[in-house]
Amino acid sequence: MSFSKDLDKATLNLNGYTEITVRGILLDLTRLIIKASPVDTGRFRGNWQASVNTPKVTQLKRKDRTGTRTITAASNVIEKFNMGQTFYLTNNLPYARRLEYGYSKQAPSGMLRINVMRVQSELEKARKR
């Protein structure tokens, strides 16, 4: 399966949730992905970029070993998110795909797909309650 097809599966359907709940889910997912990202210099973790309606296509020079600045930047975007918009979290470094598919011993299962599945599972449990 191709990387883009895998990422197409890594989406959440948040129809039926309130805007405040959706923002919380997006922030939780963003935190999980950033914190699960492997760290060497902090460049990869610092290159996660949140946006609404249009994915970011640039690379940042930001290094963020803890992920705190990156999460704060994403949180600022999420605060402005409105229902009906599309949220993107992108990392445009050339080695992002390799890291997602187990290249790193720190994140052998990747960080994006595994956390989207985790959040999907939690949402499904909540819906059944």
> At which residue do the structure tokens 């963020």 appear?
64
Q: What is the band of 123 on the pLDDT scale with cuts at 50, 70, 90?
A: confident
What are the tens digits of pLDDT across the range 21-46?
Answer: 899 999 999 999 999 999 999 999 99
Q: Does the residue 96 lie in any domain?
A: yes
Q: Does the residue 67 lie in any domain?
A: yes
Among the ranges given (13-17, 25-29, 108-112, 121-125), the one the predictor scored with the smallest mean pLDDT: 13-17
Q: Does the residue 42 lie in any domain?
A: yes
Q: What is the band of 1 on the pLDDT scale with cuts at 50, 70, 90?
A: very low
87 has which bridge partners?
52
Q: The tokens of 72 are what? A: 């704060």
Q: Is 88 helix (H, G, I), strand (E, B) or coil?
A: strand
CB 12, CB 116: distance < 8 Å: yes
Q: The tokens of 123 are what? A: 């949402």
Give the number of domains in the chain: 1
What is the rounded CA–CA span in Å between residue 7 and residue 16? 23
Q: Does the residue 44 lie in any domain?
A: yes
Q: What is the band of 126 on the pLDDT scale with cuts at 50, 70, 90?
A: confident
Q: Does the residue 128 lie in any domain?
A: no
Average pLDDT over residues 53-66: 97
What is the rounded CA–CA span in Å between residue 71 and residue 35? 9
Q: Does the residue 37 lie in any domain?
A: yes
- Residue 52: enclosing H or E segment and its boundaries? strand 49-52
CB 34, CB 47: distance < 8 Å: no
Q: Kindly give, in sequence order, each residue whose CB lies less than 8 Å from that of residue 21, ignoring residues fewer than 6 positions away.
A: none
Q: Does the residue 103 lie in any domain?
A: yes
Q: Does the residue 87 lie in any domain?
A: yes
| Residues of the domain holding 116 | 18-123
pTM to 2 decimal places: 0.88
